[in-house]
Amino acid sequence: MRVVFAGTPDFSVACLEACRASGAEVVAVYTQPDRPAGRGRKLAASPVKAAAIAAGIPVEQPASFKAEADRDRLAAYAPDLMVVVAYGLILPRKVLAIPRLGCWNVHASLLPRWRGAAPIQRAILAGDDASGVDLMQMEAGLDTGPVLIERRTAIAADETGGSLHDRLSVLGADALAEGLRRTMAGETLAARAQPEAGVEYAHKLDKAEARLDFALAALALERKVRAFNPWPVAEADVAGERLRIWSARAIEVTHSAEPGQVIAATRDGIDIACAVGALRLTTVQRPGGRPIGAADYLNARPELKQAVS
């Protein structure tokens, strides 16, 4: 079976390797054009492009598929199937119709909940107790196609965006490998239509969302800290200093302090008053510094301990 793979970030690499290990022939890899990255803003290849080059697979990087020449180039690979994993481009109907078996998508949610760009972080932000991946037959709509294979996993109480990302990447590769194996054995996968009820959209993350508003409940802020680790990383003003917050936990405490006020500062953490409860900051990062534990931060700012003692 001739497969064209389309993906861009780290999340997609495990699925590319699953395609290669399946016995299918990966005839081309499509990925986003190189983007500026790092302090020097030099053009950098995507993780999927790097993996494809290492494997000796031809790489294509069209800015879109609006041009007929780009669609013709895809058709020239004569794909039986196109596998799409966090590619970053919307595929028009004319592209979906090119492969003989259509296009599959590996999506990091339990559809129809969290269709769209940031399903991993949105699930943590919402306090969901489970997530997963769906192998889906693609349609023209945004993540609306029927589900072929699903894998579920619990969201742990201390789950971060990074830890859930890594586990779902492995689950996605597992679901894709099963789909490829069964299809190449001659089986037609049963397609389950998504229910109309329960649709939620996982809108793209915005760095402005990372700012913590202590007028909210501590539990909501804890979820934001976990969801936005490792990107874009939560931020907060703590006693006059802007900090990045890498880890924190909500604590149940009754207080009369104004939201945002430091109400305790110990080696265990820095407690910030919230509308409900308090948020205990345990790992923070000062401007220009590296992430450090609360105890090290307080060593640099002893006045915080004195102010609340």
CA dist 169 and 34 (Å) reads 22
List binding-site positions for (6S)-5,6,7,8-tetrahydrofolate. 109-112
Per-residue confidence band for 303, with pLDDT thresholds at 50, 70 and 90:
confident
Closest by CA to 32, choosing from 18, 49, 16, is 49
Q: Is the pLDDT of residue 13 over 70?
A: yes
pLDDT at site 309: 61
Instruction: Give the tens place of pLDDT for each residue, 223-277.
Output: 999 999 999 999 999 999 999 999 999 999 999 999 999 999 999 999 999 999 9
Structural domains of the chain ordered from first start: 2-202 (3.40.50.170), 210-308 (3.10.25.10)
Instruction: Give the tens place of pLDDT for each residue, 72-120.
Output: 999 999 999 999 999 999 999 999 999 999 999 999 999 999 999 999 9
Per-residue confidence band for 304, with pLDDT thresholds at 50, 70 and 90:
confident
pLDDT at site 50: 98
Query: Do 237 and 287 contact (CB within 8 A), yes or no?
Result: no
Decide: helix, strand or coil at residue 249: strand
Read off the pTM: 0.95
List binding-site positions. 109-112
Residue whose pair of structure tokens reads 């909500």 in the numeric block:
250
Q: Is the pLDDT of residue 308 over 80?
A: no
pLDDT at site 159: 98
Closest by CA to 161, choosing from 227, 96, 104, is 227
pLDDT at site 38: 78
CA dist 191 and 149 (Å) reads 8
* Cis omega (within 30 of 0) for bond into 230: yes
